[in-house]
Structure 1
Amino acid sequence: MSLHKLAWTLPAKLHRTFPTFSIHSRLISTHHGVIQDVRGIMRKVPQPVVVVTTSKPDNIHDRRGITVSSFTSVSLEPDPLVSFCVRIPSRASELLHSSGNMVLNMLSHEQVQQSIAFSSPTSEQFKDIPFFDDPITGLPVLMGTVGAMHCQLFKVIELGDHELWIAKVLKVEQGVGGEHGKREESNPLLYYERAYRSIGDQVFMKAFEDDCEGSFNSIKWMHRAHLRMAWNYIRELGPDAAEPKIKQTLRSHFKRNPKKSQDYHETITSFYIALVSAAVRSYKGSEESDFFELVERFPQLLDAKTIDKYYSADKLYTDEARRAFVLPDIQPLPTHLQ
């Protein structure tokens, strides 16, 4: 029997001692409903994709970039102010605090690759990304953007698991060095009307799904990218409905990249779908977290030897296992992860 029903059946004296439970339950329910409503309406609001870049004052080679959320113009007078949000704790937050200065790069329609590069906490973010170091500030500026704002820290407010950065704009550069001289480079990269994801996952999934001509081979769609794609579909559709979608997406991807046509393996794919699903079930915060938190909590997702704990080589590396799913012979597929 629920607490709500129980409260109605208790004697009057006892009833007076329990009302907070019913009220608290309704408040939680209402709060959860508001969160879902906000998510729903924000899907319909187009927003620009912005990469904030910075570097250490005493070492310009210690650079960092981050694809941020909630970018907006705050005010124009007496000084132009803009804001953006940064997840904490993060290396980007630490470096921004260390520098106090940053460049806000407004990505163009053709810069999905840059969005992906700077939504991942890797040490080689700037590899193969066109940029230059500003001759005065030494800050990295991305090439091919709609424009860039050179900013200085005005105020930081910590809100939950994010920091709200308010920055003063010192200089604006319009259309920073287009790579191809095409009109499309002046159009901003936007996201909207998709299942709720972080900006990084929004553009990541767009790139993965739209990779019709293998144009993103340089990003190296390897194991980590496949896991991230699967994680997004599992969150959006649930494990059962996501499985055929994940497999269809991977088959199409391999087909469009002839050099990888021999890489698709039905049993390995099914195993990692089960592994990601188990991780999502095991982590209560997964609905509110991001992919990087998930792989940090469950490093076995990225460990190439994890599958060896479930399958022997004789069972896994066969034509039968490549063509169709076969059950593991060492231990059952995981349902939860430690």
Structure 2
Amino acid sequence: MTQTTIDAADFRKVLGSYPTGVCVVTALDGDNKPAGMVVGSFTSVSLDPPLVGFFPDKKSTSWPLIENAGHFCVNVMGSDQQDVCRAIGAKGDQKFVGVEYTLSEHNLPIIANSLACIECRLYSVTEAGDHWFVMGEVLRMESTRDEDPMLFHRGKYGGFAEVL
């Protein structure tokens, strides 16, 4: 069997043709400060048990904080929440400056005006190349508003447009 070499730039360009939803994964770190990361790889995994998953980069500085918490909340972003994504996606410890959130009964940050929140217990973490495949067992979930979701496509944020 021969190994194929794939150019990283081509890989990103081709896979960037596939739009993804945008979520912010949150938890409280060891000092009870909010930690968060923007993900475009969120997916449902299983109905029984109820599992969801996402793929954080191994170089992420936010993922270890969330992993150590042992549970997390997936906040589904609306197309009007680009400012939240840009804040949470920034480097450093000021990600939540200006970001409104409340703490759930599971002590997880739920971002104000997110379309849905899915609270999870960490189920498993599996190595997947230069990323981790993280699965969470759903503890509680709620749709909070019925608006246009945020999408990420070809390096840009956007929304959904129905084809008639």
1:107 aligns with 2:68: no
1:31 aligns with 2:8: no
1:47 aligns with 2:33: no
CA distance in 1, matches of 2:152, 2:64: 27
Which residue pairs with 1:173 in the alignment?
A: 142
| Higher helix residue share | 1
Shift of 1:139: 1.2
Please list the CA deviations of residues 47-71 of structure 1 after superposition, one character each: whole Å capped at 9, or x if unmatched: 1001000113x642x2111001311
The residue identity in structure 2 corresponding to 1:107 is: M
The 8 Å contact of residues 69 and 86 in structure 1, kept in 2 or not, is answered as: no
Q: Which has the larger radius of gyration?
A: 1
CA distance in 1, matches of 2:73, 2:7: 37
The 8 Å contact of residues 37 and 63 in structure 2, kept in 1 or not, is answered as: no
Please, what TM-score do these two structures have when normalized by structure 1? 0.43
The residue identity in structure 2 corresponding to 1:169 is: V
Percent identity, please: 27
Partner of residue 101 from structure 2, selected from 119, 131, 139: 131
| Higher strand residue share | 2
The residue identity in structure 1 corresponding to 2:98 is: D
Describe the SS at the equivalent of 2:85.
helix
Q: Structure 1 runs of 4+ off > 4 angstroms? A: none
Residues 265-284 of structure 1 aligned to structure 2 (within 5 Å) = none
Which residue pairs with 2:152 in the alignment?
A: 191
The residue identity in structure 2 corresponding to 1:98 is: N
Which residue pairs with 2:46 in the alignment?
A: 75
Please, what TM-score do these two structures have when normalized by structure 2? 0.84
- Cα 1:35–1:74 shift into 2, 3 Å: farther
The residue identity in structure 1 corresponding to 2:41 is: S
Shift of 1:110: 0.1
Shift of 1:44: 2.7
1:163 aligns with 2:121: no
The 8 Å contact of residues 55 and 132 in structure 2, kept in 1 or not, is answered as: yes
Q: Which has the higher contact order (CA 8 A, sep 6+)?
A: 2
1:87 aligns with 2:57: yes
The residue identity in structure 2 corresponding to 1:52 is: V
- Cα 1:45–1:122 shift into 2, 3 Å: same
Residues 199-214 of structure 1 aligned to structure 2 (within 5 Å) = 202-203=156-157
Shift of 1:34: 9.5
Residues 12-27 of structure 1 aligned to structure 2 (within 5 Å) = 27=3
The residue identity in structure 2 corresponding to 1:94 is: P
Describe the SS at the equivalent of 1:163.
strand
CA distance in 1, matches of 2:40, 2:70: 19
The 8 Å contact of residues 107 and 189 in structure 1, kept in 2 or not, is answered as: yes
The 8 Å contact of residues 145 and 186 in structure 1, kept in 2 or not, is answered as: no
Describe the SS at the equivalent of 1:31.
coil
CA distance in 2, matches of 1:43, 1:166: 23
Describe the SS at the equivalent of 1:118.
helix
